[in-house]
Structure 1
Amino acid sequence: MKAVRFEKYGDIDELRVEQIAKPQAGPGQVVVAVKAAGLNPGEAAIRAGLLHDAFPASFPSGQGTDFAGIVDEVGDGVDGWSRDDEVVGWATRSSHAEFVVVPADQLVRKPSNIAWEVAGSISVTGPTAFAALRAVQATEGDTLVVSAAAGGVGVLVSQLAVLGGLTVIGTASEQNHDFLRSLGVIPVEYGEGVVGRIRDVATTGVDAFIDCYGHGNVEYGLELGVAPHRINTITDFDAVERHGVKAEGSAQATTQAVLTELLGLIAEAKITVPIDGVFPLDEVRDAYRDLEDGHARGKYVLGLDVVAYPGENEGERAGTDEGSEQAT
């Protein structure tokens, strides 16, 4: 099968698409033919060696966590899954490939009306958003600020918070403001002076802050008067030591129950997952170049047997097949 690999830490050019042995299902395992697999900034950081202390790579290393696909083989002792079942799951540095093998309890059933590229893109961002919102103890009536609110995690945090009855202020570039308004989010331009702009719209103050971008956003939350235990960052881990804020993410919420709940919300069109671009597996370098540019609206996805379409927010997918033409 084809799979994305890298032989050493480095930049995007270290990524290769190689022929390797197709995995086989051992006891308790399932092999899935991958239809779509999402890209995440953390994977780029691992490839670059920036997370070696926490997540060391052994070489040659595979890549990828998110995926959705069709069950190809079921190992001994597995109940509940059969060949040709449509599933969503999570892997350990191996989903950017034509086939992936995972424990049976790392799969959930894919709702039939969710587009493959959407289903294959949420196993990291969805639980991360769920955990971050839970960490800041957000309750109905609170005002929550989300940095990078149009990004892969931020857009899900924002929508879950709106569903929960919170007032959500999202920082983003001007080009994403109308999109955020369509989700019920109050948009604010990021960059110099952002604290003042947030204060202008947060007429009753700010209760909680979720940082999806880093670059000083934790300090912005503190400047706004948010208590450290109600600030969560998914990227600025140094700020956790400096200020005592939280850093809860996918590790605290990646379960079958959480993923099933999120897929249900997408299937019912209660939340949307914008897809900024779908790339063939062979174009994984181009996909990561777009991801690492830092201006995604939602997710980039590797599509295997999924019709590709351009990024730049043209032809975005919203979530369900029925709603896939109307992401904004």
Structure 2
Amino acid sequence: MKAMILSAQGGIENFSLADIPVPSLKHDEVLIKTKAISINPADTIVRSNNNVSWVFGNDNPLVLGWDISGEIVDIGSSVQNFKVGDEVFGLLNHPYIGRTYAEFVAASAEHLALKPKKISHETAAVSTLAALTALQPLNKVGIKPGDRVLVTAAGGGVGHFAVQFAKQAGAYVIALASASKKDLLLQLGADEFIDYKKEKFEEIIHDIDIVIDGVRDDQHLLRSLNIIRPGGTLISLWTNVTEALSEEFQLKGINIFYNMVLPNGVDMQYVADLLDNDLLKPHISKIFPFEEIPNAHIEIEKGHTTGKLAVSF
């Protein structure tokens, strides 16, 4: 089968197309013929950063990717909830590698849900890692109707899902992003919009119950210190918060929460139900062909992607 392999961690020049064996199945896995995948900022970090080489385990060759949508072509002996011919999507094996940059992928059946028939494989593929990264911490901190929620980096992949999940929960949502993303975020349900290039959010909002921070910077996290009410929560999507930073928030009675997203078929089914009922609207800014995965990495590393990028097979 064709796969986009990585000769070594580093730049995109280490990518190449290659023929590698179709993966064999464990008893609890299914074999998926890939129709679409998605590229995340985390993909580019794992590609380029030797400090996270542990995610590959003993893999050889190195094949990146976590997000997938496709068709089941074979099933393991103990799989009962799916059959050959089912179209499925999911987040695979995170934080270890899911090896989705390939024509065929072995996936744990527990990580998958049926793809709604009404949506494309590209739409399904982008509604996996980014969607669960937004959904899981909101569920864990107990978001409730009437909560005032600030979403930073709201126009990105995780952020635009966080806006929608918070609205589904009945929250009042304030979206922080650049002006070019204002119309999209208001269409997705944001109640207020703040242009971070023109205004300092900490000077104009207060009494926030939950901040969902998608900016990879401790100083940015600190800017939320004086806007969250006592008993409120800061969710950091990127930074595994240092003890010193955590203490600053705790002194003000603010909970601080870092979430490692995990594959979960039940969560994927929730996402599938929202998609099937037009209650979740993923935004895809560009679709790349499989051979152009390196170009998709370049696009992600520019840091200004609106919504998500998809790759079509």
Normalising by structure 2, we get a TM-score of 0.88
Q: Map 1:108-257 onto structure 2 (within 5 A).
A: 108-185=113-190, 186-191=192-197, 193-196=199-202, 199-200=203-204, 202=205, 205-215=207-217, 216-227=219-230, 230-239=233-242, 242-243=245-246, 245-251=256-262, 254-257=263-266
Name the SS for the 2:170 alignment partner.
coil
Q: 1:261-320 deviations in whole A, cap 9, x for unaligned?
A: 11111111111100111111110011111111111111111111xxxxxxxxxxxxxxxx
Give the CA deviation at 1:225: 3.6
Match for residue 251 of structure 2? none
Give the CA deviation at 1:167: 1.0
Contact 2:36/2:122, CA 8 A, preserved across alignment: yes
Match for residue 250 of structure 2? none
Q: 1:171-215 deviations in whole A, cap 9, x for unaligned?
A: 11110011111122111112474234xx43x3x621210111223
Letter in 2 for 1:271: L
Give the CA deviation at 1:24: 2.8
CA RMSD of aligned residues (A): 2.1
1:16 equivalent in alignment to 2:16:
yes
Match for residue 97 of structure 1? 102
Match for residue 310 of structure 1? none
Name the SS for the 2:223 alignment partner.
helix
Give the CA deviation at 1:134: 2.5
Do the aligned partners of residues 182 and 138 (structure 1) sit closer, same or farther apart at CA in structure 2, a change above 3 Å counting?
Answer: same
Contact 1:61/1:93, CA 8 A, preserved across alignment: no
Q: What CA distance in whole angstroms lies between the structure 1 residues aligned with 2:195 and 2:150?
A: 12
Q: What CA distance in whole angstroms lies between the structure 2 residues aligned with 1:293 and 1:174?
A: 17
Give the CA deviation at 1:93: 3.1
Match for residue 66 of structure 2? 65
Structure 1 window deviating more from structure 2 (36-45 vs 213-222): it is 213-222
Letter in 2 for 1:153: V
Give the CA deviation at 1:51: 4.5
Give the CA deviation at 1:221: 1.2
1:39 equivalent in alignment to 2:39:
yes
Name the SS for the 2:143 alignment partner.
coil
Q: 1:105-142 deviations in whole A, cap 9, x for unaligned?
A: 22211110111101112221121111221344322111
Match for residue 309 of structure 1? none
Name the SS for the 2:257 alignment partner.
coil
Q: What CA distance in whole angstroms lies between the structure 2 residues aligned with 1:241 and 1:209?
A: 19
Do the aligned partners of residues 53 and 117 (structure 1) sit closer, same or farther apart at CA in structure 2, a change above 3 Å counting?
Answer: closer
Match for residue 307 of structure 2? 298
Q: 1:13-60 deviations in whole A, cap 9, x for unaligned?
A: 222221111123332221100001111111211111264276365553
Name the SS for the 2:208 alignment partner.
coil
Q: What CA distance in whole angstroms lies between the structure 1 residues aligned with 2:171 and 2:9?
A: 41
Give the CA deviation at 1:148: 0.7
Name the SS for the 1:276 alignment partner.
strand
Match for residue 319 of structure 1? none
Name the SS for the 1:250 alignment partner.
coil
Structure 1 gaps, min length 5: 305-328
Q: What CA distance in whole angstroms lies between the structure 1 residues aligned with 2:227 and 2:82?
A: 49
Structure 1 window deviating more from structure 2 (259-268 vs 44-53): it is 44-53
Q: What CA distance in whole angstroms lies between the structure 2 residues aligned with 1:156 and 1:50?
A: 29
Letter in 1 for 2:151: V
Query: Which of 290, 293, 296 is the equivalent residue of 1:281?
Result: 290
Q: What CA distance in whole angstroms lies between the structure 2 residues aligned with 1:75 and 1:49?
A: 34
Structure 1 window deviating more from structure 2 (238-247 vs 139-148): it is 238-247
Name the SS for the 1:184 alignment partner.
coil
Q: What CA distance in whole angstroms lies between the structure 2 residues aligned with 1:165 and 1:294?
A: 30
Do the aligned partners of residues 135 and 104 (structure 1) sit closer, same or farther apart at CA in structure 2, a change above 3 Å counting?
Answer: closer
Letter in 2 for 1:137: G
Q: What CA distance in whole angstroms lies between the structure 2 residues aligned with 1:53 and 1:229?
A: 35
Normalising by structure 1, we get a TM-score of 0.84
Do the aligned partners of residues 28 and 267 (structure 1) sit closer, same or farther apart at CA in structure 2, a change above 3 Å counting?
Answer: same
Structure 2 gaps, min length 5: 248-255
Match for residue 78 of structure 2? 77
Structure 1 window deviating more from structure 2 (211-220 vs 150-159): it is 211-220
Q: What CA distance in whole angstroms lies between the structure 2 residues aligned with 1:240 and 1:293?
A: 31
- What is the count of residue pairs matched by the alignment? 298
